[in-house]
Amino acid sequence: MTTEIQIQTLKLDQIRIDGGTQPRVAIDEDVVAEYAELYAEGVDLPAVTVFHDGSTYWLADGFHRYWASKRAEREAIAVDVQQGTRRDAILYSVGANASHGLRRTKEDKRKAAAIMLEDEEWSQWSNREIARRCGVDERLIRRTREILTAVKPQLEKNSPRTYKTKHGSVAQMKTGKIGSSSKSKTPRFGKNAYRPKACHSEDGPVPMRAISLPLKNPIQAARSMISIYGDDYMRQVANELNRIFQSQKGLAHDCTTHE
């Protein structure tokens, strides 16, 4: 992978933000507003960093500048283009802002550590090397690894096991409830219930991660979800929510008029 700096301009819709390259837990709306004002005043902020795999530009650093450009209704943004895959972008992102830009929170640092320690390849690296890549203290990596190691047996216990049936076909057996009381039943979801599925890109599957949404800040929550799931998908979600709210509003109106 080359480190040669290639500053150019890209349209915002050319840049992918849904590949797991968001290094922070959440977007700071105050910072987005501040950057948007600077853009509106004609100030040129530093270029964001993207990785180009030959067909896709993955945003690795500069999410606040990206969202500020959106708010300022700019169509394009200056980018530092580096050649590499989505994984290269993720590896770069975990150390972004370690020594410059908006300071990372403790949660941001923990997320960076977890990203590497949950990866099959990167988790094999030494604590010192992972700490260097993330720009954090080695003690944080050690503690995070200990926590993940402690919960891994439980996760493996609940994961399905593959076995061969007497007919020769391959099937999976859910092992999480083995040994539990048959009286304790959990609610069953309907056949139409949503079940998350792994996303895929040109570079392979995109890991799905749990997110904690700030309930008191819907704007911040929305931006976090868009950063993870992408503009197109969340636009469809917004349209569907609007349809549901409109139908509920119409139903409420009918009930009121018939009382």
- Tell me, letter by letter, the H, E, C secondary structure of 173-195: ECCCCCCCCCCCCCCCCCCCCCC
Assigned domain for 120 exists? yes
Which pLDDT does position 196 carry in this prediction?
Answer: 45
Alpha helices in 41-103, H assignment, sequence order: 63-71, 86-93
Q: Is residue 123 part of a domain?
A: yes
Does 10 map to a domain? Answer: no
Does residue 156 form part of some domain? yes
In a domain? residue 148 = yes
Q: What is the pLDDT of residue 210?
A: 45
Lowest mean pLDDT: which of 154-158, 173-177, 195-199, 248-252?
195-199
Higher pLDDT residue, 42 or 178?
42
With a pLDDT cut of 90, the percent of the chain lying above it is 48
Domain count of the chain? 1
Nearest to 142 by CA among 171, 176, 110: 110
- Asked if 97 contacts 25 with a C-beta cutoff of 8 angstroms, the reply is no
Asked whether residue 154 is assigned to any structural domain, the reply reads yes
Range of the domain at 119: 105-161
Q: Which residues pair with 82 in a beta bridge?
A: 51
Query: Is residue 235, in this structure, part of any structural domain at all?
Result: no
For 127, the 3-state DSSP assignment is helix
- Cβ-based neighbours of 161, under 8 Å, separated by 6 or more: 172, 173, 175
Give mean pLDDT, residues 159-185: 54
**Type of residue numbered 225:** M
Does 6 reside within a domain? Answer: no
Assign 163 to helix, strand or coil.
Answer: strand
Question: What is the arithmetic mean of pLDDT over 148-175?
Answer: 60
According to the model, what pLDDT value does residue 97 have? Answer: 81
What pLDDT sits at residue 140?
Answer: 94
| pLDDT(189) > 90 | no
**What does the pLDDT read at residue 150?**
81
Element housing 83 (H / E): strand 76-83
Q: How far apart are CA 97 and CA 137, in angstroms?
A: 15
* pLDDT at residue 244, as a whole number: 75
Q: Is the pLDDT of residue 216 over 90?
A: no
Q: What are phi and psi of 120, to 5 degrees?
A: -60, -40
pLDDT for 248 equals: 64
